[in-house]
Amino acid sequence: MQELIQQSLTWTNTFIFLGWAVVMMLVVLGFVTYAIYFERKVIGWMQFRHGPSRVGPLGLLQTVADIFKLLIKEDTIPRKADRALFILAPVIAYVPAFAVLATIPYSERLGFADLNVGLLYYAALSSITTIGIIIGGWASNNKYSLLGGMRSAAQMISYEIPLVISVVGIILLNGSLSLRTIVEGQGNYFWEWNLFPQIIGFVVFLIAGISELNRTPFDLPEAESELVAGYHVEYSGFRFAFFMLAEYVYVFALSALTTVLFLGGWHPPFPFLDFVPGILWFVLKFSFCVFFIFWLRATMPRIRVDQLMSFGWKVLLPLALLNVFLTALYIELFNK
């Protein structure tokens, strides 16, 4: 794939690119379908319940049935809603979620675009989803959805700052914003991965990233006990499915980015395990990150909105700045 990207753009290459994009979309849609099933099974296992078990063998078709139900439900638009923005909001929320996957390197040879500012590209595009959520809340002409949208804006903007600052240490160590270069800078021993020298940045990145996903315990923009359902309360059918799809695509993107930045990407934990294809190591680490996100949802209660904002500004931001300072000090003292 990388060799193909370096070639001159022709009609043949264009069709190949489009074909790979369709394949990637199908992979992501398959992930979303069975990530929802896996999440329900994991939470059921942790809470001594069965989880989905009726539709299909072992309940494997339950999520397929749920998606089909959403697609055939009546699409309602409130009479006093801003119709154009109401229709546009789910698209604005979803498209960046899929577009950020273009720069993720999955193995030494499997990846779509090796941008020299890949990390910056990810941070910039993922922020656009906030606009879609705010527009959806405002265009619905509903006070609860508006409050959900404003909460989302406050939360995602507040946690975006420590999220970006938490990876500055990795940029300093590698001297590049290219995700492929960052992976190649990590060795084949697990203690050479960025996880250990950047443990503070890793903790801040993981917490801020989960908050960016609006998932438990940071799901204040869709807190049903206070806001009915939050910013998407007026959405139904496939438009609601787009908001849900964006959330799970970001689970995919955040887990992949965590694997690339901190867990060595496609590198094995020991050199003698080199015979295992790199893509399998990537998938294994990626699956662990996804499992951890689901595990957190089954474990942590929702926090209050004042606790959420205080934690972001008073704890995560100072820790992220401290990590940058310690990394710069280490480079100055030991890497001359």
> pLDDT tens digits, residue range 129-139?
888 888 988 99
Single residue among 43, 71, 99 that ends a domain in this structure? 71
Residue 85 sits in the same domain as residue 56: no
Residue 183 sits in the same domain as residue 293: yes
Residue 57 sits in the same domain as residue 82: no
Q: How confident is the model at residue 18 (pLDDT cuts 50, 70, 90)?
A: confident
Single residue among 71, 90, 110 that ends a domain in this structure? 71
Residue 180 sits in the same domain as residue 255: yes
Single residue among 71, 98, 116 that ends a domain in this structure? 71
CA neighbor of 164 nearest in space, from 174, 181, 177: 177
Query: How far apart are the C-alpha atoms of 250 and 31, rounded to whole Å?
Result: 11
Q: How confident is the model at residue 51 (pLDDT cuts 50, 70, 90)?
A: confident
Write phi, then psi, for 266 (nearest 5 degrees). Answer: -90, 0
CA neighbor of 88 nearest in space, from 138, 39, 34: 138
Cis status, amide bond into 217, omega within 30 of 0: yes
Query: How far apart are the C-alpha atoms of 101 and 112, rounded to whole Å?
Result: 8
Q: What is the domain range of residue 155?
A: 73-335
DSSP-assigned states of every residue in 258-322: HHHHHS-TT--SSGGGTTS-HHHHHHHHHHHHHHHHHHHHHHPPPPPHHHHHHHIIIIIHHHHHH
Residue 234 sits in the same domain as residue 103: yes
Each residue of 240-284: pLDDT tens digit?
888 888 889 999 999 999 999 999 889 999 888 888 888 999 999
Over 80: is that where the pLDDT of 169 sits? yes
Residue 322 sits in the same domain as residue 205: yes
Write phi, then psi, for 262 (nearest 5 degrees). Answer: -120, -25
Q: Which residue has the higher pLDDT, 279 or 18?
A: 279
Residue 66 sits in the same domain as residue 163: no
Q: CB–CB of 265/259 below 8 Å?
A: yes
Residue 214 sits in the same domain as residue 153: yes
